[in-house]
A and B are shown apart, each in its own frame.
Chain A
Amino acid sequence: MADRAQPLSAGLRLGAGAAVLLTLALTLGPLGAVLARAGTFAALGPADWAALRFTVAQATVSAALSLGLAVPVARALARRRFPGRGLLITLLGAPFILPVIVAVMGLLAIFGRSGLVNDGLAALGIGRISIYGFGGVVLAHVFFNLPLAVRLLLQGWLAIPAERFRLAASLGFGPGDIARHLERPMLKALGPGIFVTIFLICLTSFAVALTLGGGPRATTVELAIYQAFRFDFDLGRAAHLASLQLALCAATALVAARFTVPSAFGAGLDRPVARWDAGGAGLRVLDTLLLGAAALFLLAPLAAVFLTGLPRLATLPEPVWRAALRSVLVACGSTAVAMGVSLPLALAIARRGRAGMLEVVGMLPLATSSLVTGTGLFLLLRPLASPGDLALPVTVAVNAAMALPFVLRALIPAARDLEADYGRLAQSLGMRGLSRLWLLTLPRLRRPLGFSAGLTAALSMGDLGVIALFADEDHTTLPLQLYRLMGAYRMADAAGAAVLLLGLSFGLFWMFDRGGRADAGA
């Protein structure tokens, strides 16, 4: 295989360079600004180190469980065809895009002290279980991240050309052989990246860990940063902790890159994948049970949120609708920026052959504390303009950067395959620049592009992020408005707003994802 690094065109170099600059400006820039303001790193106390240990432990367990559970679920989805499969795949993605507080309320409606599970157990005369503590934190993180892992793995399964499964069928491969020869190489290519992504998401967990953690034992680094900023006004300590987070991120991303093995399946002719290896009744029952359990675990809390809020949807106050419109616009802006930035970066990384610093840069936003980002940007931008006026543009940029790691996860493997399969043909025909983008890159990457655009839009919709630091009354987004409703005791309206948010996030996600999957002839 021609796995040599290829020279980057000027346009690609420019695009990738801009992407790197934007990412650094939104991650290291704010940290630098905070550090500059603090003057020096402040020492960390034993409580900070305990927080670091807890954070790493829960993130490791959460990431391992999410990935481990996602493998059988994604495999079942990949080899089964049933009515409503497409809808189920889209629905399963929903927990990932929910604002934390809404998702936590949904989880509690099922697993909480007076949730359905405990009511059921009580009715059976069995003792109640408590969600609060280490287990609860992990449960919530798996709830959030299992869908992401399933979707990314499913992309990997779908990227194995139909011809390979045909060959496997002709050779009489059973499920075990398929796993050895087709699935394991794919998992080796995707697994490490997915693990690190989820690990890093959990590393910066704040509200989930605190709300479900049950007490100060469940203190995360992000809470320590929050405390340093808000109650101690100790910028040096905040900067120190944030740097630790970033270093941890860079280290894990590099280690993961080392363990990533390119799958090298080669290209196919885009024939629809038919599976001949999934016939056994036992296997069918197993897959059905797996999908049923996953759907129940992921969808029941959503259903609870939906049913609680639906009656109030029609009577939501007018400011909520205005915030919703603003959020949709911000989401579309973030999506445009994120796609424009991540595509050249993914192509550049794919063309480099092996993973390197570019990939680490693409992961940095995950490990960035949103409080540090917000405060740092605030320090950087305040001399230039009033923060209120910058609220929406800053939110657009930050949301785009925050989505970058997820988008890259979806795009890089596909871009690598594209390069390996069609790079030389395109080169031999002299396809370059825009014509290559238009005729080759966009159509071949349509599926991961649609998925990641949907993800970006939905993440941006649900993000409270930096807007809270910048917004005044004219720039409220829907999640902020939801939070304000709760803060004003209006829990019923907040539940209605949550349904609106869920619907809009989901609608945007569905629209983009669908656009990517509406593939001619397939």
Chain B
Amino acid sequence: MRKTQISTLMIAGLLAATPVAAQEKPVLTVYTYDSFVSDWGPGPQIETAFEAECGCDLKFVATGDGAALLSRVLLEGAGTEADIVLGLDTSLAAAAAASGLFAPHGQDGTVYDLPVAWTDPLFVPYDWGWFAFVYDKTKSDTVPADFEALAASDLKIVIEDPRSSTPGLGLLLWVKAAYGERAGAIWEGLSDNIVTVTPGWTEAYGLFLEGEADMVLSYTTSPAYHLIAESDDSKAAAAFREGHYLQVEVAAKLAGTDQGALADRFLAFIATDAFQGAIPETNWMYPAITPTSGLPKGFETLIRPDKSLLFPPEEAAALRDAALAEWQTALSR
């Protein structure tokens, strides 16, 4: 297949190469975000594992980040090729549900290892994490215990823009959930701590590692990567007294799928060890159901907040615009 592509290119043809897909096997098309299918993401392992049991061809289609994923599906509407969409998070779920494109998952008996109860009829959670500010233990000696302490300190932070990234949006909702009416004042207090606001997580985390800031908005699980993959225990997440906002990543079945049975099978497969076991060390998040082998060694060193914050999807959607305006006003001052 790759050869076909290259030779097509070399004759500068604008014709599409014919994909040599398996003709006999049914194809299950899963739209997801880019880092899921990357060679370092969970995609390749999960594809192998599912194909081994389903007698089908699992085809991942990458679409950019989580927000791009939703806009792609909305753009395609009912005519979408997708059978499953995997990678939306709770702050996007309301808009996804409102589109009417998704069908109930029917996985009702599943018990999830989430810090909150999960009863959504459309979306199946596959992993989750707490947003947190990550810092370098060797560089910062005082670690703030809440947003107010952070605002009062002279620590510098990098955050993501809520208008272009899901972690940015998560932080917006975190402050809102923790402080309600006082959110605007908190943002004003934080404004002199913020070095810059980046378009996405990648830029923010990159800046932090370059030493541009003392802390970065990421996940409580981020230090696990450095510990496990790089044997570097210098990174840690700051535990905040107000509690930590959750990001729950979900999958759902398209109502218009022509592979209904296969799609249901995949949704059920999400709950198995073969899927869940791949998550911690590729996506660096908590699996929605802890695999029987437990979490990888190193995860036990991570902080585990006592209190989890999460708006239900409809409430998150309703709060968004006002919270965004509040954020913009406070930081533009």
A interface residue numbers (CB < 8 A to B):
37, 47, 101, 104-105, 108-109, 112-114, 130, 132, 206-207, 210-217, 223, 226-227, 229-231, 233, 317, 319, 326, 329-330, 333, 336-337, 375, 378-379, 382, 384-390, 392-393, 396-397, 468-469, 471-476, 480-481, 483-491, 494
Contacts and interface: CB of A to CB of B under 8 A. Distances in A.
Contact of B16 (A207, A226, A390): A390
Interface of B: 1-2, 5-6, 8-10, 12-19, 34-35, 37-41, 43-44, 59-64, 67-68, 70-72, 74-76, 81, 95, 156, 161, 163-164, 169, 191, 194-199, 201-203, 205-207, 209-213, 222, 225-226, 229, 282, 284, 327-328, 331-332
Contacts of B205: 486, 489, 491
A419 to B, nearest CB: 29
6 contacts: A215-B332, A217-B332, A386-B19, A473-B60, A481-B38, A489-B284
A132 B195 contact: yes
Contact of B210 (A105, A230, A387): A105
B14 A393 contact: yes
Nearest to B63: A469
B38 A488 contact: yes
Nearest to A491: B209
Nearest to A493: B40
B40 A216 contact: no
A333 B210 contact: no
A392 B164 contact: no
B163 A487 contact: no
A86 B7 CA distance: 36
Contact of B198 (A211, A233, A396): A211
Nearest to B333: A217
B19 to A, nearest CB: 6
Contact of A490 (B40, B75, B198): B40
Contact of A388 (B40, B61, B95): B61
Given A215-B191, A472-B37, A486 B210 contact: no
Given A317-B39, A487-B38, A214 B5 contact: no
B40 A215 contact: no
Contacts of B39: 317, 319, 473, 484
A215 B61 CA distance: 33
B76 A474 contact: no
Across the A-B interface, the 4 shortest Cβ-Cβ residue pairs: A114-B211, A488-B40, A484-B38, A230-B67
A382 B1 CA distance: 20
Nearest to A389: B16
B94 to A, nearest CB: 12
Contacts of B163: 223, 226-227, 231
A387 B64 CA distance: 13
Contact of A474 (B2, B18, B35, B67): B2
Contacts of A113: 156, 195, 211-213
A215 B196 contact: yes
B88 to A, nearest CB: 12
A216 B197 contact: yes
B197 A213 contact: yes
A5 B274 CA distance: 71
B197 A210 contact: yes
Given A484-B38, A487-B201, A216 B16 contact: no
A487 B34 contact: yes
Contacts of B16: 384-386, 389-390, 393
Contact of B199 (A211, A233, A494): A211
A130 B213 CA distance: 12
A481 B13 CA distance: 24
Which residue of B17, B81, B161 has the most chain A CB atoms within 10 A of its CB atom?
B161
B199 A206 contact: yes
Given A101-B202, A393-B13, A393-B16, A132 B61 contact: no
A485 B40 contact: yes
A366 to B, nearest CB: 21
Nearest to B210: A108
A108 B195 CA distance: 12
B196 to A, nearest CB: 5
A484 B34 contact: yes
A93 to B, nearest CB: 25
Given A227-B164, A488-B38, A488-B41, 18 more contacts: A101-B203, A101-B206, A211-B198, A211-B199, A214-B197, A215-B194, A215-B332, A319-B39, A329-B10, A378-B75, A392-B5, A393-B9, A397-B14, A469-B64, A486-B206, A487-B35, A487-B201, A489-B226
Nearest to A209: B199
Nearest to A100: B203
A390 B18 CA distance: 10
A393 B62 CA distance: 17
Contacts of A382: 76
Given A319-B39, A386-B16, A390-B16, A214 B196 contact: yes
A227 B74 CA distance: 15
B67 A213 contact: no
A378 B202 CA distance: 25
Given A114-B210, A379-B75, A390-B16, A231 B331 contact: no
B225 A468 contact: no
Given A217-B331, A229-B71, A472-B61, A333 B196 contact: no
